[in-house]
Amino acid sequence: MNEDTIKMIESEPTPAISRLWFAVYTYSCQEKRVAQHLSTREVEYFLPLSRNLRRWKNGCTMLVEQPLFPGYLFVKIERGDRVRVLELPGVHSMVGTGRAPIPLPTKEIETLRQGIAQMKAEPCAFLKVGEKARILRGPLQGMTGVMVRKKNGLRLILSLDLIMKSVSVEVDALDLEAVHSSPRSWSLLAAPPTPKPSSFVVDSRFC
């Protein structure tokens, strides 16, 4: 994460409550298991999933749920409660610098949490370069990403730079506006200029 990004996060208004969103890194294929442990311990969490119908060799069709950000989920806790998360089976670490976890911007996480389930989203290779656009309306209004034109329409790649992961969502061209210069505010869904750990971004080469 570059120095400007860290300053932007630190300058965010202090929330009325001390709980913040943090990214949790899990061992391979342990995201749902960790989510179950968090639920049992009444820890607020967010595990975004993609849902797709898959046909097996025997002809059966099943709805398969997979993490949108493989290897990660998000928790809303006080800094002092991080040990409660770190001691859970399946948890590798919390994303940050050294032993200090870095909080994610509350507004962007909450927007993503409330809106991603209403969008046709799927995992995508991490991407930070391309034609930027902002969503004007809908469940993800205000989020910025990189636009990619595909045969069946448009997709916007939203990239979380802190964990260097991206997700693509299907969008309508009428719901987008071009972004010609990056605003001086850190967005969960906007890529900073360096490839270091925090932001969201679409390129047909990757999706």
| Residue 138 φ/ψ region, left for φ over 0, alpha for ψ in the -120 to 50 degree band, beta for the rest | left
For residues 155 and 202, the answer to whether their CB atoms sit within 8 Å is: yes
DSSP 84: H
d(CA 118, CA 179): 24
Would you kindly state where each structural domain of the chain is located, as residue ranges?
A: 10-103, 105-207
Specify the pLDDT at position 17: 56
pLDDT averaged over the chain? 79
Take residue 24 and report the two structure tokens written for it.
């949790």
Q: Which CATH architecture has domain 10-103?
A: 2-Layer Sandwich (3.30)
Specify the pLDDT at position 12: 53
Collect the ranges in the chain with pLDDT lower than 50.
5-8, 14-16, 182-207
Provide the whole-model pTM: 0.72
How far CA 23 is from CA of 11, 35, 62, 73, 135, in Å, comes to: 19, 13, 30, 6, 24
d(CA 70, CA 28): 8
Specify the pLDDT at position 73: 96
Specify the pLDDT at position 63: 77
Specify the pLDDT at position 103: 93
Specify the pLDDT at position 29: 94
DSSP 111: H
To which H or E segment does residue 150 belong? Answer: strand 144-150
In 10 A of CB 84, how many CB atoms? 15
Q: What ranges in the chain are assigned the alpha helix state H?
A: 3-10, 31-40, 82-86, 106-115
How do residues 95-154 score in pLDDT, each as one tens digit? Answer: 998 888 999 988 889 988 888 888 888 888 887 778 889 999 888 998 989 988 877 778
For residues 167 and 123, the answer to whether their CB atoms sit within 8 Å is: yes
For residues 82 and 24, the answer to whether their CB atoms sit within 8 Å is: no
